[in-house]
Structure 1
Amino acid sequence: MKRLLALALTLVLSPSAMARDSFQICWSIYVGWMPWAYADQQGIVDKWAKKYDIEIDVVQINDYVESINQYTAGQFDACTMTNMDALTIPAAGGVDSTALIVGDYSNGNDAIILKGEKDLAAIKGQSVNLVELSVSHYLLARALESVGLSERDVQVINTSDADMVAVYTTDDVSAVVTWNPLVSEIAAMPDSHIVFDSAATPGEIIDMLVINTETLAENPNLGKALVGAWYETMALMSAQTPEGAAVRTFLGEASGTDLAGYDAQLASTQMFYTPAEALALTESQVVYDTMKKVAEFSFDHGLLGEGAPDAGFIGIETPAGTYGSTTNVKLRFDPTYMKMAADGEL
């Protein structure tokens, strides 16, 4: 009897017996993440979830950093974010996370905009509004380096992306760092000038869908469904046909612009429309080198957690090798599911 009871408890408590069938992912407005809106509203996510006998709820969060905070707190199973924010928020918070989909890198979508000045050097002595300690902060640091300045030469003012446009319209704000579609909106305002953008740092601001590593390990069908839905949507939106234009029109309107505006944002985004394109970056030395730079910046700004002794405190696993601690890996670039998509195994 005791053996039967023990066996029953084992079955009840084992991960396979407790396999989940319902999940939530979140995303925020950005040109490279808008496809989740189409995949959700057009039933593509539901179709792939049904294929694997699960349910996936796709939720839009208007505040980017808040979406990552909610993921880190366990309210979502996966969330869209950049490589740096994946390191400094969930990974630094102890949440082991995996880059399930490497969707693109910013190739001009992130930018520094000055009001009334056309030269980056004019930023010296100014207050700069940005989402503090985000990739915008990282881009600012990289830009300042390029003209012999440092963060000591400016004053950073933390500003939510949800408030950025409204803040810029005020008389006392003259410099912002942000991302599209906000860049396009702000740059279109009178006497506004983009003085530096992420095209100068190719491959350094990577946009991803990040998933809880433990959740993925216990529920591989979630990874398969999400990747399958993503690449089906990529094929639809990248088609140079009237149907493809209709998808991009939907994405443009959903992000507050139109087809021309959205296509302009895509032009400054290195989208990976196929899994093979995503794998080419993910499996390259570029990701390792980029994450080393990002980790060093993050450590210098105290973003790797209290008591982090060096930039390698948090291990970052990439196909090219692990940067930092091999016993404290909390961020992983795992190409497994993108490979499945490339090989037609989903």
Structure 2
Amino acid sequence: MKRFSALLLSSLLLSSGAQAQDSFKLCWSIYVGWMPWAYGAEQGIVQKWADKYDIDIEVVQINDYIESINQYTAGEFDACTMTNMDALTIPAAGGVDSTALIVGDFSNGNDGIVLKGKEQLADIKGQNVNLVELSVSHYLLARALESVGLKEADVQVVNTSDADLVAAYSTDDVTSVATWNPLLSEISQQPNSTVVFDSAQIPGEIIDLLVVNSDTLAAHPELGKALTGAWYEIMATMSAEDEAGAAARNYMAEASGTDLAGYQAQLDSTQMFYTPAAALELTNSAQLKQTMQYVAEFSFDHGLLGEGAPDAGFIGVQMPAGDYGDSSNLKLRFDPTYMQMAADNQL
């Protein structure tokens, strides 16, 4: 009887320990605004905040951006870096209720269109445009074409993995690409190449997020606290004009395949939200609601909201300024709770 009681107690203790030390996985891909996760993982900052809340967080780099989101959507990761549009059209459209936990930045020139041998956007008419189809690059192309009175029917989109874009552009057959940094910087530096349109012309529309599964976040608020706390500690370090800040930025530069000058150039074309207050300003704004309407309309026009979607508002998006779309089908949530906790020093 004593032996049974001891075994039962041991089992209960193991069970309690397993519950107290829950494990979570975050995936990210190379982009200027997401390199901080690489630094935070390598420097033990993520681990420090995970330990504070008695959880484990594994940070995993995935080389193919879309594949990272697909794996998150399939449930292989609890959190993933992605843009606002891709959050809507992949996990949300796939029925996975997701929360934008951290609004990290918006592209302010980090996404662009490059032409080879031409210097004006209007010259893109009739060309093949290599890009990651149905991504923010495709959205950028559509917005760019609108600005010069063209339509997508005036070009031919060629779906190309981001892992293959640089190599493709180096061939004679490829004369136009739409992509993001660091690929954009590398491609635009090739001979006879010109950036003819970039995201600085549509500020605040391509937003970079850390997205977390809403059910997981609701069940484990400690995950939201740990990730948000780690993020803003990283932000404070990398934004500092001191040796530690320079070292952090240099690490991120090398990890993304460039040097400090190259990475700084990418930061210069990114509106980073180094403080939670700055992130909250956009998150709480009416502009975010308008942006998500633009994105939803583009996504619906391209069949990205699912075959059964009757209109652009089929998927509900919850925002502090008000819901867009069907409030009974909320699948994407911009929740300022944890960023506000960070702003109030409550993490």
TM-score (norm 2): 0.94
What is the CA-CA distance between 1:86 and the residue it aligns to? 0.2
Supply the AA of the counterpart residue of 2:198: D
Q: Judging changes above 3 Å, is the alpha-carbon distance between structure 1 residues 250 and 53 closer, same or farther for their aligned structure 2 residues?
A: same
How far residue 243 of structure 1 moved from its aligned partner, in angstroms, is 1.7
Q: CA deviation at 1:241?
A: 1.2
Give CA deviations for 1:77-136 in whole Å, capped at 9, x if unaligned.
000000000000000000000000000000000000000100000000000000000000
Instruction: Write the mapping of 1:56-71 to structure 2, written as runs, cut at 5 A.
Output: 56-71=57-72
Partner-residue secondary structure (3-state), 2:271: strand
Match of 2:189 in 1: 188
Aligned residue for 1:140? Answer: 141
Q: In the aligned structure 2, how far is the partner of 1:302 from the partner of 1:20?
A: 41
Structure 2: tracts of 5 or more residues without a match: 1-11, 13-17
The residue number in structure 1 matching 2:262 is: 261
1:246-276 deviations in whole A, cap 9, x for unaligned?
1101100110111111110000000000000
Equivalents in 1 of 2:183, 2:264: separation in Å? Answer: 15
Q: Which residue does 1:328 correspond to in 2? A: 329
Give 1:301's aligned residue. Answer: 302
CA-CA distance at 1:306 after TM superposition: 1.2
The offset of 1:20, in angstroms, is: 6.7
Gapped regions of structure 1 (runs ≥ 5):
1-10, 12-16
TM-score (norm 1): 0.95
> Whole-Å Cα distance in 2 between the matches of residues 151 and 300 of structure 1?
11
Which residue of 2 is the match for residue 211 of structure 1? 212
Please show how residues 148-187 of structure 1 align to structure 2 within 5 Å.
Answer: 148-187=149-188
Between the aligned partners of 1:294 and 1:250, the Cα distance in structure 2 is 33
Q: Percent identity?
A: 76
1:235-246 alignment, distance < 5 Å: 235-246=236-247
Cα pair 1:106 1:268 within 8 Å, conserved: yes
Give SS of 2:209's match: strand
Q: Are 1:291 and 2:292 matched, yes or no? A: yes
Query: Which amino acid in the other structure matches residue 325 of structure 1?
Result: D
SS at match of 1:208: strand
Contact map agreement 2:106 2:208 (CA 8 A) in 1 = yes
Q: Which secondary structure does the structure 2 equivalent of 1:56 belong to?
A: strand
Residues in 2 aligned to 1:133 and 1:94: alpha-carbon distance in whole angstroms = 18
Could you tell me which amino acid in structure 2 is paired with residue 340 of structure 1? M
Give the alignment of 1:331-346 within 5 angstroms.
331-346=332-347
SS of equivalent residue, structure 1 residue 57 = strand
Q: Give the corresponding residue for 2:89.
A: 88
| Aligned positions of 1:95-110 closer than 5 A | 95-110=96-111
> For 1:118, what is the secondary structure of its paired residue?
coil
How many equivalent residue pairs? Answer: 331
Query: Distance between the aligned counterparts of 2:132 and 2:112, measured in 1?
Result: 12
Tell me if the contact between 1:83 and 1:207 (Cα under 8 Å) persists in the aligned partners.
Answer: yes
C-alpha distance in structure 1 between counterparts of 2:103 and 2:81, whole Å: 10
Q: Displacement of 1:26 after TM fit?
A: 0.2
The within-5 A match list for 1:262-277 is 262-277=263-278
Question: Which digits, 9 at most, give the CA deviation of each residue in 1:319-345, with x for residues without a partner?
Answer: 000000010000000000000000000
Instruction: Give the distance between the partners of 2:215 and 2:19, measured in 1 at CA.
Output: 13
User: Per-residue deviation at 1:307?
Assistant: 1.1
Q: Give, in angstroms, the shift of residue 242 of structure 1.
A: 1.9
CA contact (8 A) 1:85 1:135 kept: yes
Amino acid at match of 1:87: L
Corresponding letter in the other structure for 1:320: A
Cα offsets for 1:203-223 (capped at 9, x unmatched):
000000000000000000000
Paired residue type of 1:24: K
Q: Distance in 1 between matches of 2:276 and 2:303?
A: 35
